[in-house]
Amino acid sequence: MESRALRIALIGDFDPQVTAHQAIPVALGLAAEHLRHPVDFEWLATDRILPETPLQPFDGFWCVPASPYKSEDGALRAIRFAREQQRPFLGTCGGFQHAVLEFSRNVLGWADAAHGETSPDASRAVLTPLTCSLVEAVDSIHLVPGSLIARAYETSEIREGYRCRYGVNPQFERELLTHELHAVGHDSAGDLRAIELKNHVFFVATLFQPERAALKGQLPPLVRAFVEACSEQCR
């Protein structure tokens, strides 16, 4: 019997002008071809992710770049579902930022946690402007050996590209990373660039955009690993 297609939700507001949004369907197509398993994806506009929106049918969730989103609450609702229901999750760029925000509010109980891009005057802005804006920048990243992301890349040193202006506020980084949220990737300056959630089937978020490799015809290792995790859940 032929296995059913994987269903992956893309959390974000589709914009054909965004490079990452052009790359993500290509990346998923390359992963489907590599794994010989059909993959269907659906864009979930954040302002349409309501409390009653059915998320159960999806095998995996990818929170995509290009924030701020139309609805921060909608994005956080879908991320929380993936985290609590053990659905494979990948967050890239804005997805990384909102995974941190969701964890801050719903696991650490920081009800006043905010994103500095939309609430610059918040007393607990867990995401603040990067010291050096990473718009169209490429840098090396050191990965923690044994982490999901290091296993995906099969190395502990990679180079990836960014289009990002916000990252984790250093003021809160230590408190954020003392629970099940772990730092697994740092750039050449030692700044946090990738996180994973312990005791989860697959929950990885990166400030960089690995999906861009697909536009050069290359299967991004992290996307392959994410789709593999979705396939495992589907069995």
pLDDT tens track for 170-204: 999 999 997 799 999 998 888 899 999 999 999 99
Output the pLDDT for position 189: 85
Quote the longest CA-to-CA distance of the chain: 56
pLDDT at 102 over 50: yes
Give me the pLDDT at residue 111, please. 97
Decide if pLDDT at 230 tops 90: yes
Smallest CA-to-CA distance from 99 within 187, 210, 88 is with 88
Q: Is residue 219 within 8 Å of 31, Cβ to Cβ?
A: yes
Q: Indicate whether 1 pLDDT > 70.
A: no
The yes-or-no verdict on residue 156 having pLDDT over 80 is yes
What was the pLDDT predicted at 23?
A: 97
CB contact at 8 A, 24 and 78: no
For the segment 82-90, the average pLDDT, to the nearest whole number, is 98
User: Are the beta carbons of 196 and 209 closer than 8 angstroms?
Assistant: no
User: What's the confidence (pLDDT) of residue 132?
Assistant: 63
* Mean pLDDT of all residues in 121-147: 87
Query: Among 20-34, 89-103, 166-180, which is the least confidently predicted range?
Result: 166-180
Confidence of residue 139 (pLDDT cuts 50, 70, 90): confident
Structural Rg of the chain based on CA atoms: 16
